[in-house]
Amino acid sequence: MFRVWDISLLICFSVSLMFVGVEGRSELPPPMNLTFKWETPFTLNLTWEKPKDLDPDCKVNYTVCVHHSQDCSVKTKSDMQGDKRSQTKRVQNTTCKFNISNENGLCISVTVNPETCENKNHSPSLDISLPPPTVTLVTNRSYEYSHNRLKCTWRPVDVVQDLGFYYWSPQKNMVIKCNDMTFGECVIHDALLKDMTSMFYLFNGTYNGKPVNNTFMDKRPAQYVKLNKPQLTIQKDGHNLRFQTNKSDLDEFGPHCYIYKYKYSKCDKIEPEKEVIEDNKYEVDHDSNCKYRASVQIIFSDKCGAGKSDPSDEVEYGENRDAHLPALLAVIIIPLIVSCCLIVSLVLLRRHKDIIFPKIPEPTLIFKDMLINNIRMPEDLRSPTDGRLYVPIEEIVESKISLEPETPLVPTTANAGIKNSDD
């Protein structure tokens, strides 16, 4: 009983100390004289002063946040939600630099954080806002990257004289002009594009007689990869069909960055899509009674960036056939062929029956002829072999044949008399 009472008193005492300690904490004073300066179109330099009346034994650091909006009232909510449009740094000194663009205006805030200060919380933030440019020179910006080549396109808002396009190279720490430029388009050639973590662009020109600068910050070029249209071939490999994609354009990044997305139909039935990583081949079971239609699209993996190619042209293989058609044809065609052959055989047999089945003499005449010729005379008994030979009966042919000449017409007596009187 007493132990439970002691534990309760200890808990109450601890809670009381906690609340007393919290109530005894106070906020640090905010920084002073926050100013900014654009060292380049993309480099913002911020400076401020230490808080006034800061305890000399209190060591502090500073949190600097730049939000891509002129309205500082939405800053806290955006920061709590982890807004990607905000950039935050923690520094020890009273100066800080950001590589940033001023497309929609900026809200800059600096907060003092305690390090070795007793009973002190962070200070309220000191905020300043920067307005966006008064004129937007271009809209509808888009990008396509491939093999150290970044194609940038846009649409001018209005007539802008001497429009120039530049980009920021952090590796070279300089602003580079894009010279390969046509109306609404420019191509950047740079071997360092693939390794850049972000891109900064500058458009400048004269609008209504006044110089105007627009800066933009965008994703790294690997997020805008554009792959060439692939070519697909279908080959028979044993009992399978092999879908194979050409790899002539897929040598800039590692094999794990490319995903082959195959779409195909079998007997006009669409099969589920298949994604193959690293390997440009895919095999399916082959049905000889089906027609296959297939196409492929190459997707750039989100592990390496973003992008894709256009789908390839559709390739066809085989023909659609009824699986029961061979048996049906056999049932119909085989009896028909047999019937035709039988009819032809009967016709030929009837036409050439004398050749196929020649006339055979009557057996009675043959036996009679053999009996007559086998009678041997006494003088033939000396040669026993002579009686064994069959001698056919000689046919009696008329030896004397005479031809009578045809009798000419002889005029009669009456006709002769008439002829003489005429003479």
DSSP output for 214-268: EEEEEE-GGGGEEEPPP-EEEEEETTEEEEEE--TT--SS-GGGEEEEEEEEETT
87, 100 contact by CB (below 8 A): yes
Give the model confidence (pLDDT) of 212-261 as tens digits.
Answer: 999 999 999 999 999 999 999 999 988 899 999 988 788 899 999 999 99
Residue type, 310: D
Tell me if residue 131 falls in helix, strand or coil. coil
Give 398 or 141, the one with higher predicted confidence.
Answer: 141
Q: What does the pLDDT read at residue 406? A: 59
Residue 56 pLDDT class (50, 70, 90 cuts): confident
The model's pTM: 0.66
Backbone phi and psi for residue 4, each to the nearest 5 degrees, phi listed first: -65, -40
Segment among 207-216, 228-237, 404-413 with least mean pLDDT: 404-413
Residue type, 257: C
Residue 81 pLDDT class (50, 70, 90 cuts): very low
**In 327-346, which positions are buried (b, 16+ CB within 10 angstroms) versus exposed (e)?**
eeeeeeeeeeeeeeeeeeee
Residue type, 95: T
Q: What does the pLDDT read at residue 172? A: 83
Q: What secondary structure does DSSP assign to 161-200, as a single string?
A: EEEEEEEEETTTTEEEE--EEETTEEEEE-TTGGG-SEEE
Q: What does the pLDDT read at residue 413? A: 46
Give the model confidence (pLDDT) of 141-154 as tens digits.
Answer: 999 999 999 999 99
Residue whose pair of structure tokens reads 């990257």 in the numeric block = 145
Backbone phi and psi for residue 411, each to the nearest 5 degrees, phi listed first: -65, 145
Report the first-to-last Cα separation within the chain, whole angstroms.
194
Task: Please report the domains of the chain, with CATH numbers, ordered by start residue.
Answer: 26-130 (2.60.40.10), 138-224 (2.60.40.10), 228-317 (2.60.40.10)
**Mean per-residue pLDDT for 361-378?**
58
CA gap 96, 110 in Å, rounded: 10
Give 71 or 84, the one with higher predicted confidence.
Answer: 71
CA gap 133, 100 in Å, rounded: 14
